């Protein structure tokens, strides 16, 4: 009996893993078009302690979203690859990926020169590939609960609908300030 239960659990785990891999290949579909320049953000603020991302234009809020962070989201500033932390500091959105394994993604320019220098002195990689992204492709049904735990590897996670809105409002080059 225990062997059958264990077999069923393993089978389900393999099926979920396979589903995730297939959905990652399928992707997010067509990304939304950018909004007109006068409706786009000119700054992003992330409040890690509040689990909140805010889009600003001329200092006024034009969007606010509940977020999930890295599994060690309250552990301070990201220092090394694999630490499950979300970086803190001022960066910019420097490129975007419409075909990422998560629903769309905007790249945060971590590590900056100071982050890289600190990692070099300490003798390890600072990590990278920090993104603002939606849920993993195929897992959009988790939108209502995604913010209940920190599930990313250091990225900033939002729902897929929110990611489509953020994608259309945030041009490349937008500064992002990530606060504790």
Q: What is the pLDDT of residues 42-93, one digit of tens each?
A: 999 999 999 999 999 999 999 999 999 998 877 888 988 999 999 999 999 9
Distance, CA of 126 to CA of 111 (rounded, Å): 7
Active site residue 103: no
Dist. CA 178–CA 49, nearest whole Å: 10
Residue 16 has pLDDT above 70, yes or no: no
Instruction: Tell me phi and psi for residue 26, to 5 degrees.
Output: -70, -40
Non-local (6+) Cβ contacts of 140 within 8 A are 103, 134, 159, 160
Nearest to 60 by CA among 70, 46, 45: 45
Note if 133 is an active site residue. Answer: yes
Q: How far is it, in rounded angstroms, from Cα 36 to Cα 47?
A: 27
Kindly report the pTM of this predicted structure. Answer: 0.83
Q: Among 103, 146, 147, 155, which one carries the catalytic annotation?
A: 155
Strand, helix or coil at 101? Answer: coil
Residues 4-15 have pLDDT tens digits of 666 555 555 444
- pLDDT per residue as tens digits for the range 79-88: 889 999 999 9
SS3 26: helix
- The number of distinct structural domains making up the chain is 1
User: Coil, helix or strand for 145?
Assistant: coil
Q: Which residues contact 18 (CB under 8 A, 6 or more apart)?
A: none
Residues 103, 107, 133, 147: which is the catalytic one? 133
For 136, the domain range is: 2-179
CATH for 92:
2.40.440.10
């Amino acid at each position: 009996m225990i062997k059958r239960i264990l077999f069923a659990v393993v089978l389900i785990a393999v099926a979920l893993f396979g589903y995730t891999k297939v959905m990652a290949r399928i992707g997010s579909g067509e990304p939304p078009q950018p909004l007109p320049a006068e409706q786009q953000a000119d700054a992003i603020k992330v409040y890690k302690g509040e689990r909140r991302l805010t889009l600003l234009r001329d200092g006024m809020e034009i969007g606010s979203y509940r977020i999930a962070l890295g599994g060690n989201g309250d552990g301070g500033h990201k220092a090394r690859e694999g630490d499950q932390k979300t970086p803190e500091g001022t960066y910019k959105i420097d490129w975007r990926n419409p075909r990422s394994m998560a629903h769309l993604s905007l790249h945060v320019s971590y590590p900056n020169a100071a982050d890289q220098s600190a990692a070099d002195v300490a003798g390890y990689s600072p990590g990278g590939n920090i993104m603002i992204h939606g849920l993993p492709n195929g897992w959009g049904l988790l939108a209502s609960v995604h913010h209940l735990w920190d599930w990313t590897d250091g990225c900033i996670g939002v729902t897929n609908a929110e990611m489509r809105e953020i994608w259309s409002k945030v041009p490349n080059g937008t500064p992002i300030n990530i606060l504790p």
